[in-house]
């Protein structure tokens, strides 16, 4: 039996790997699938919630690398994952997304001669100020197999001269997890717990350095939230990075913005699917809201997920007070067009990945 390792490092990776683990269950006579958690982002309570919400097994290896500079974190992941590969002797490695663990583990496995795949390949923001963009470009340049979520990814990889036989348009495993967890989210009590009326509140997430590390920008965002919250409730699950900056800068968030700690995947999905709209700078939330048909305002200058803007429910706005408030006004006046779900975002992307890998390399 051959052994395959899938790597998770940060919260979005859990949603991408959970359906892959389930999909390989159909090939249990061929593959022994294991999860490696680098601990790049780690909170014991939140990790346990994700394992439970997504029906994931606990990882076979946990590296516990923690936070640090990009160089420190990447180096610690590489050192730890090299030891895992020496012990596990995998035949195949899967990395997902665009975090430091993605490129770190890809570098290790490729240099060890282990066939390696990148799930969510080909996405590009064309903004090299984003560390994630460097991770995406570098990972795609070295891996063997590239699994693509949307048509733009195909175009970018073809433009880069990647052998077409190595590119596979399979859909989006993030949406596999969303559809899998949707029935659970319908039983969530979080709306009652927070005193929210479905469809009559906005959901906010902000964590990117460009939005939360700049004191002027962060104060502007808080001011925008206060303005919007004067007309409708706003729920703000606060990322640890954002909370730390708010505290260090002495920025007070008005009481009409409901600041809460990060919540598990099922509860967050419940909040997202019944929100009037979502304001975010996240990548994955642009995809999830498109799949749910929920209006999304992305406060960024670029997006690596253009299909969410082209046919989905996502609107990309300049991260300014006027840009965000104009988008909010458009959505609240009913001016947002109805979106479509992109091709192959049907809940079976992981099944296609497992089938491709098994057919080609088992």
Q: State the Cα–Cα distance between residues 304 and 299, nearest whole angstrom.
A: 13
How far are the Cα atoms of 197, 237, 288, 323 from residue 280, in angstroms, in the given order? 21, 11, 12, 13
- Contact assessment for residue 79 and residue 108, using Cβ atoms and an 8 Å cutoff: no
Q: Which residue is listed with tokens 């982002």? A: 41
Question: 91-102: buried (b, 16+ CB within 10 Å) or exposed (e) per residue?
Answer: bbbbbbbbbbbb
Please name which of 272, 277, 275, 276 lies closest in space to residue 298, comparing C-alpha atoms.
Answer: 277
- Contact assessment for residue 313 and residue 296, using Cβ atoms and an 8 Å cutoff: yes
- Contact assessment for residue 238 and residue 259, using Cβ atoms and an 8 Å cutoff: yes
User: Which entry of 21, 37, 118, 207 is annotated as an active-site residue?
Assistant: 207
Whether 207 is catalytic is yes
DSSP per-residue letters across 28-60: TTTEEEEEEE--SS--HHHHHHHHHHTTPPPPS
- Contact assessment for residue 306 and residue 281, using Cβ atoms and an 8 Å cutoff: no
Please name which of 247, 251, 248, 241 lies closest in space to residue 218, comparing C-alpha atoms.
Answer: 251
Active site residues: 207
């Amino acid at each position: 039996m051959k052994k395959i390792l899938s790597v998770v490092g940060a919260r979005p990776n859990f949603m991408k790997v959970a359906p892959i683990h389930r999909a390989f269950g159909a090939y249990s006579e061929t593959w022994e699938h294991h999860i490696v958690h680098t601990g790049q982002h780690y909170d014991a309570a939140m990790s346990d919630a994700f394992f439970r919400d997504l029906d994931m097994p606990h990882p076979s290896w946990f590296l516990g690398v923690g936070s640090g500079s990009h160089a420190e974190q990447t180096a610690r992941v590489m050192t730890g994952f090299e030891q895992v590969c020496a012990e596990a002797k995998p035949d195949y490695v899967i990395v997902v997304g665009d975090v430091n663990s993605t490129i770190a583990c890809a570098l290790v496995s490729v240099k060890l001669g282990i066939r390696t795949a990148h799930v969510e390949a080909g996405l590009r923001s064309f903004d090299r100020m984003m560390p994630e963009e460097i991770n995406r470009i570098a990972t795609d340049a070295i891996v063997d197999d590239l699994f693509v979520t949307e048509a733009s990814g195909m175009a970018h990889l073809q433009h880069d001269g990647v052998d077409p036989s190595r590119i596979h348009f399979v859909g989006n495993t993030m949406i596999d997890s969303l559809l899998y967890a949707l029935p659970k989210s319908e039983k969530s009590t979080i709306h009652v717990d927070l005193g929210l009326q479905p469809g009559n509140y906005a959901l906010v997430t902000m964590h990117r350095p460009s939005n939360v590390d700049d004191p002027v920008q962060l104060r502007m965002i808080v001011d925008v939230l206060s303005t919007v919250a004067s007309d409708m409730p706003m729920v703000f699950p606060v990322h640890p990075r954002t909370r730390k900056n708010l505290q260090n800068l002495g920025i007070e968030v008005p009481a009409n913005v409901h600041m809460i700690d990060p919540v598990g995947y099922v509860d967050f999905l419940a909040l997202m699917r019944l929100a009037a709209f979502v304001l975010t700078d996240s990548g994955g939330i642009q995809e999830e809201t498109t799949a749910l048909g929920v209006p999304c305002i992305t406060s960024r200058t670029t997006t690596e997920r253009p299909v969410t803007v082209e046919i989905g429910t996502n609107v990309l706005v300049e991260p300014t007070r006027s840009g965000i408030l104009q988008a909010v006004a458009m959505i609240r006046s009913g001016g947002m067009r109805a979106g479509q779900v992109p091709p192959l975002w049907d809940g079976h992307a992981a099944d296609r990945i497992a089938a491709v890998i098994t057919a080609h390399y088992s």
